[in-house]
Structure 1
Amino acid sequence: MTRTIVTGGSSGLGAAVVDAALKAGDRPFVIDRQAPAGGVPWIECDLADTRAAEAATRKAIAELDGLDAVVTAAGMDVPGRLADVPAETWERILAVDLLAPAAVIRAALPALTDSHGHVVTIASTLGVKAVSDATAYCAAKFGVVGFTRALAAELAGQVGVTLVVPGGMRTRFFDDRDERYKPGPDAVLNDPAAVAAAIMFAIGQPRGCAVRELVICAETETSYP
């Protein structure tokens, strides 16, 4: 039974990971600003506050009595020209999408080292291909790619590390955007359950074997390669 912390586990990809973990008989624990469905144990936390994220992680580990995996699925974006996106919003995107994963993983490392556990970070196809009007999101997700690759080298032989690079998914991620930044009527978005299944595959590798990187997207994804 894998004890797994999932950030952003109340919606989107995070919720799909929680569902997949429950179906596998595992014990997911959510860190988020909203309660997850189905009575899954959780801690309320604004992940943009990295010290709070660290404290929430340590509390979750105590409640789980150890830890086997972390999936940093929380993320946000507010598209727009650099000059038009308020500085506070721009910096919050960096905090939630890049600084929070590092904070959660940092706090989890002692427990993950004890269990020879696994870290899964969530980047984006926009972490390998830059586009206009997404400076904060691209900066954060490019950062996740570099952070995760460096972490994999640092923790080799101690903790498994997997970088997941998903394309667009059918979630509420795009709901609050201006119409010009929403996927077009012909866009084909991937099922988050498919990405969650790949994450579970990575976590389930036997000791000594690690899936380092996975790119997962709809066959007609336009943002990759």
Structure 2
Amino acid sequence: MRNLGNVLITGGASGLGAATVRAVREAGGVPLVIDLARPEDGVESVQTDLADSAATENAVRELAERAGGLDAVFTAAGIDACGTLDSVSTKDWERVVHVNLLGTAAVVRAALPYLERGHGTVVTVASTLGIKAVSDATAYCAAKFGVVGFTRALAAETAGRIGVTLLVPGGMHTAFFDNRDEQYKPGPDAKLNKPEDVARTVLFALSQPPGCQVREMVVCSSEEGSWP
């Protein structure tokens, strides 16, 4: 198993990202965070809006230069905008795609030169709604289906140069659902995973030795309703 080294984590101030920050620290790695909010104390970070691709690429380079390189990237940041296509504003709809898909691409693009120096690893975050479409989630499904395609193409393009893993998580007990209308929040009996459990699967993918790849992982509650 390989040492984690410097791990860049988007969305590292909350939810799965924050859980992964803690897991990386506990395993002896160094988390570096890009988020609109500040992560926990003692974590190097740059506050950046992932909807701004140029600013995102600059943030990646700034953190990489500060830390002396990158060994891994985990793209945990994500947002949604629930509602029918004609009820979600164009601005909100497109922001979901910008943050979830274009933000992921911007981070990986900027990180590639650093990762290639040490055969580092990228773990992208799709969703069970990136492989199964549902109503009232056109923006989120479009973005996450895009992440699936982007990651598979990236793996083909960079084979032998870096590691690439696609994480497909189900719902988790995080603040992700907090600002939704009640009809779009998980019910009181919803079966959701703990983010710290999913974070451990991320570390498993990042810890594989060079040449050994965990290409894709579906990690969800045993009673997840959106998979399969």
SS in 2 for 1:37: coil
Q: Is 1:83 paired with 2:83?
A: no
User: Counterpart amino acid of 2:7?
Assistant: T
2:9 is aligned to 6
SS in 2 for 1:39: coil
2:36 is aligned to 33
Runs of 4+, deviation exceeding 4 Å: none
Q: How many residues align?
A: 225
Q: Is 1:56 paired with 2:59?
A: yes
User: Counterpart amino acid of 1:173?
Assistant: F
2:128 is aligned to 125
User: 1:188: how far off?
Assistant: 1.1
Identity of aligned residues (%): 60
For 2:170, which of 159, 167, 190 is the aligned residue?
A: 167
SS in 2 for 1:59: helix
Instruction: Give the distance between the partners of 1:197 and 1:70, measured in 2 at CA.
Output: 15
1:145 is aligned to 148
Instruction: Give the distance between the partners of 2:54 and 2:111, measured in 1 at CA.
Output: 13
User: 1:26: how far off?
Assistant: 0.5
Instruction: Give the distance between the partners of 2:156 and 2:79, measured in 1 at CA.
Output: 27
User: 1:38: how far off?
Assistant: 2.4
Q: Cα RMSD between the aligned structures? A: 0.6
1:1-44 superposed Cα distances (whole Å, 9 cap, x missing partner): 51010000000000011010000011000000110012211001
Structure 1 runs not aligned, ≥5 long:
none
Q: Is 1:73 paired with 2:105?
A: no
User: Counterpart amino acid of 2:146?
Assistant: G
2:99 is aligned to 96
SS in 2 for 1:43: strand
Could you tell me the TM-score, scaled by structure 2's length?
0.98
1:190 is aligned to 193
User: 1:186: how far off?
Assistant: 1.1
2:226 is aligned to 223
Could you tell me the TM-score, scaled by structure 1's length?
0.99
